Amino acid sequence: MTQRYSPEDPREWLNRAHSNILRARAVQPGVYLEDLCFDAQQAAEKAIKALLIAREVDFPYVHDIAELLTLLEKAGQIIPQPVREAERLTRFAVFTRYPYFQEAVSPQEHQEAVAVADEVVRWAEGLIQKGNSSTITRKPSTIDYSQGTPMPKFKVVITDLGYPTYKYEEEQLKPVGAELVLTNCRTEDEVAAAIRDADGVIVRLAPCTAKAINATTRCKVIARYGVGVDNVDLAAATAKGICVANVPDYCWDEVSEHALALIFSCARKTVRHDRLVRKGEWDIGSRDPIYRMAGKTLGLLGFGNIARSLARKAQGLRFRILAHDPFVKPEVAQELGATLVDMDTLLRESDYISVHAPNTPQTRHLVNEAALRKMKRTAILVNTSRGPLVDEAALARALKEGWINSAGLDVYEKEPLPADSPLRQLDNIVLTGHAAWYSEEAGVELQTKAAAEVARVLAGGWPKSLVNPQVRTAAR
Ligand SMILES: NC(=O)c1ccc[n+]([C@@H]2O[C@H](COP(=O)([O-])OP(=O)(O)OC[C@H]3O[C@@H](n4cnc5c(N)ncnc54)[C@H](O)[C@@H]3O)[C@@H](O)[C@H]2O)c1
């Protein structure tokens, strides 16, 4: 007999919402409040979906309460103010305060999120029970709940969340018959439990360790949102015949634009002047010289995809471009108007140094005290690659003691940047929080491409960007 389930039954969705509410309320030692808020958010979302199903309104696979409420509103449902609060309170707690970016959720925020989710569930339940009341007109259903709908062929688990909607993943995965399951794991045990019976996995920051991978029973592919796969145990995946895929090409323009933005902020001192003007100061130039940018030398440390994108842009700015990359041929650099030089020449001759090499044991502290001391006193250092490439303690001293002029950082040795980092105290540095990759367009591209890799493997193919090619010879 074909296995069937009935996700189109509004009562089923309300039951799931109740389970989420129960979990959201149950504060236990060791459970993060963010996770409980996530359950509250899921409860509110499921209750709204129950209502949409009762009204037979099609809805995309979104994880976004505002979007779902808009659909309900378009279908003629009046949304009470406390229900509107669900969007603000639950989403705020889960996404904005997710500890990777910010500090933890407070007990009060957790209570508010649960209370408002509770309100949404009761509201939806009331309307569904009323059936053909004046507030909700339930059309006669065309769906036969006794038969249910066919079970999807595959289960794809997203291990940890961070995007307001997952419709892009669904667009890629639905055509191959995959059901998407959203979880918000933090530990390897949580990941192991979540992916045990998954056919495909998409991971953001959660630890996809050997223990978690070895617990899988039918997984064929793990895709990472992003370039780095440090949180996925490649050896364990290869040994199990699991393809690991990444998305190396979704944000070259964004990161090179961000590097330029940091160079400009430092060279034109825009951030510093903004602070001065706000304080009522108007003596620009008197104690903090600015130098003309056109004609200056830009040094690219690493000449891969992002550095090349930056070189193309820098040509239009009339910069002289130097690059240091032991793995690139001089003619490749030349094609993009850059001259390949040794590290010492790059350090001594550049006015702006932008770091674009990967984080490897060989590149750790590539920009250390010795390198900083070789740079011009007027030089600007920008790092949008990975934090460990720059020795932060040495950089803090260089900036304080004037070995170099200023710096712009997007990445840090420890992220988020610790509260007691000496970098926070300095005036001649511009700091952004690992945001160089981000644009709305890059986000959509990242989600779409990661899910497309999983869909490709589930459909019997290979990923476009296979990180562990050795898996081709292992059993699949
Ligand atoms: N801040 C962000 O949001 C963000 C987003 C995407 C990528 N990144 C980072 O940007 C960096 C560059 O990304 P990419 O896509 O251009 O990578 P890439 O692999 O295309 O280029 C890296 C280049 O560095 C070179 N390299 C390796 N070792 C070197 C060394 N010792 N000295 C000099 N060069 C060396 C390589 O030969 C390669 O050409 C990576 O560290 C990546 O993780 C950051």
Q: Which atom of ligand 1 is nearest to the CA of 308?
A: 16
Residue labelled with tokens 């409420």 = 69
* Least confident residue range of 176-185, 204-213, 256-265, 368-377: 176-185
What pLDDT score was predicted for residue 92?
Answer: 55
Q: Which among 73, 335, 415, 441 is annotated as catalytic?
A: 415
pLDDT band at 6 (very low <50, low <70, confident <90, very high): very low
Nearest CA owner, ligand 1 atom 23: 304
Taking Cα atoms as reference points, which of 263, 266, 229, 264 lies closest to residue 244?
229
DSSP letters for 258-312: HHHHHHHHHHHTHHHHHHHHHTT---TTSSS-----TTPEEEEES-SHHHHHHHH
Enter the tokens of residue 59: 């809805």
Sorted by where each begins, the domain ranges of the chain are 10-147, 154-249+441-473, 252-431
Residue 36: HSE in the Cβ half-sphere, 13 Å Cα cutoff? 25
- What's the pLDDT tens digit per position in 399-437? 999 999 999 999 999 999 999 999 999 999 999 999 999
To the nearest whole percent, how much of the chain has pLDDT over 90?
A: 62
Enter the tokens of residue 397: 């001293």
Q: Does domain 10-147 have CATH number 1.20.120.330?
A: yes
Enter the tokens of residue 13: 């969705």
Which pTM value belongs to this model?
0.71
**Residue 220 vs residue 103, higher pLDDT:** 220
What pLDDT score was predicted for residue 110?
Answer: 85
Contact 407, 429 (CB under 8 A): yes
Residue 95 has pLDDT above 60, yes or no: no
**Residue 377 vs residue 65, higher pLDDT:** 377
Mean pLDDT of 270-283: 90
Mean pLDDT of 295-318: 97
What pLDDT score was predicted for residue 286?
Answer: 66
Residue 148 has pLDDT above 60, yes or no: no
What pLDDT score was predicted for residue 35?
Answer: 76
Enter the tokens of residue 463: 């990923």
Cβ atoms < 10 Å from Cβ of 378: 14
Helix (H, G, I), strand (E, B) or coil at 443: helix
Q: Which helix (H) or strand (E) holds 224?
A: strand 221-224
Indicate the DSSP class of residue 390.
B
Indicate the DSSP class of residue 105.
P
Enter the tokens of residue 299: 């040094």
Distance CA 388, CA 365 (A): 6
Q: How far apart are the CA of 8 and the centre of ligand 1, in A?
A: 46
Q: Which atom of ligand 1 is nearest to the CA of 327?
A: 37
Helix (H, G, I), strand (E, B) or coil at 4: strand
Residue type, 112: E
Q: How far apart are the CA of 379 and the centre of ligand 1, in A?
A: 21
Q: Let me know if 365 is a catalytic residue.
A: no
Residue labelled with tokens 């963010």 = 34
* Least confident residue range of 108-117, 257-266, 311-320, 382-391: 108-117
Ligand 1 contact via 308 beta carbon (within 6 Å): no
Q: Let me know if 386 is a catalytic residue.
A: yes
Q: Which among 55, 91, 224, 386 is annotated as catalytic?
A: 386
What pLDDT score was predicted for residue 420?
Answer: 96
* Buried-state track 340-359, b at ≥16 Cβ within 10 A, e below 16: bbebeebbebbbbbbbbbeb
**Residue 253 vs residue 75, higher pLDDT:** 253
Using a 10 angstrom Cβ sphere, with 0-12 exposed, 13-18 middle and 19 or more buried, the burial of residue 319 is buried
Ligand 1 contact via 411 beta carbon (within 6 Å): yes
Indicate the DSSP class of residue 425.
G
Q: Which CATH architecture has domain 154-249+441-473?
A: 3-Layer(aba) Sandwich (3.40)
pLDDT band at 133 (very low <50, low <70, confident <90, very high): very low
**Residue 184 vs residue 91, higher pLDDT:** 184
Residue 29 has pLDDT above 80, yes or no: no
What pLDDT score was predicted for residue 290?
Answer: 93
Mean pLDDT of 134-158: 57
Cβ atoms < 10 Å from Cβ of 316: 7
CATH number of 252-431: 3.40.50.720
What pLDDT score was predicted for residue 4?
Answer: 38
What pLDDT score was predicted for residue 109?
Answer: 82
What pLDDT score was predicted for residue 91?
Answer: 62
What pLDDT score was predicted for residue 18?
Answer: 86
What pLDDT score was predicted for residue 99?
Answer: 43
pLDDT band at 42 (very low <50, low <70, confident <90, very high): confident
Q: Let me know if 218 is a catalytic residue.
A: no
Q: Are domains 10-147 and 154-249+441-473 of this chain identical in fold?
A: no
**Residue 345 vs residue 136, higher pLDDT:** 345
What pLDDT score was predicted for residue 146?
Answer: 45
Q: Which among 55, 224, 434, 456 is annotated as catalytic?
A: 434
Distance CA 361, CA 184 (A): 31
**Residue 282 vs residue 253, higher pLDDT:** 253
pLDDT band at 333 (very low <50, low <70, confident <90, very high): very high
Q: How far apart are the CA of 325 and the centre of ligand 1, in A?
A: 10
What pLDDT score was predicted for residue 94?
Answer: 56
Pairing of strands 221-224, 243-245: parallel
Summary mean pLDDT of the chain: 88
Mean pLDDT of 70-79: 89
Q: How far apart are the CA of 356 and the centre of ligand 1, in A?
A: 4
What pLDDT score was predicted for residue 282?
Answer: 86
Residue 241 has pLDDT above 80, yes or no: yes
- Of the chain, the end-to-end C-alpha distance in Å amounts to 28
Q: Which atom of ligand 1 is nearest to the CA of 362?
A: 31
Angle 348-350-354 from CA coordinates, rounded to 5°: 120
Contact 262, 382 (CB under 8 A): yes
Pairing of strands 4-5, 320-324: unpaired
> Cα dihedral angle (328, 332, 336, 342), rounded to 10 degrees?
40
- What's the pLDDT tens digit per position in 442-458? 999 999 999 999 999 99
Distance CA 439, CA 397 (A): 33
Indicate the DSSP class of residue 94.
I
Ligand 1 contact via 305 beta carbon (within 6 Å): yes
The torsion angles phi and psi of 201, rounded to 5 degrees, stand at -135, 140
Give the contacts of 16 (CB within 8 A, at least 6 positions apart): 46
Ligand 1 contact via 439 beta carbon (within 6 Å): no
What pLDDT score was predicted for residue 143?
Answer: 40
Residue 239 has pLDDT above 50, yes or no: yes
202 Rama class: left (phi>0) / alpha (psi -120 to 50) / beta: beta
The torsion angles phi and psi of 190, rounded to 5 degrees, stand at -65, -40
What pLDDT score was predicted for residue 24?
Answer: 85
Ligand 1 contact via 181 beta carbon (within 6 Å): no
DSSP letters for 130-151: H-SSSS--PPPP-S-TTT-EEP
Q: How far apart are the CA of 158 and the centre of ligand 1, in A?
A: 26
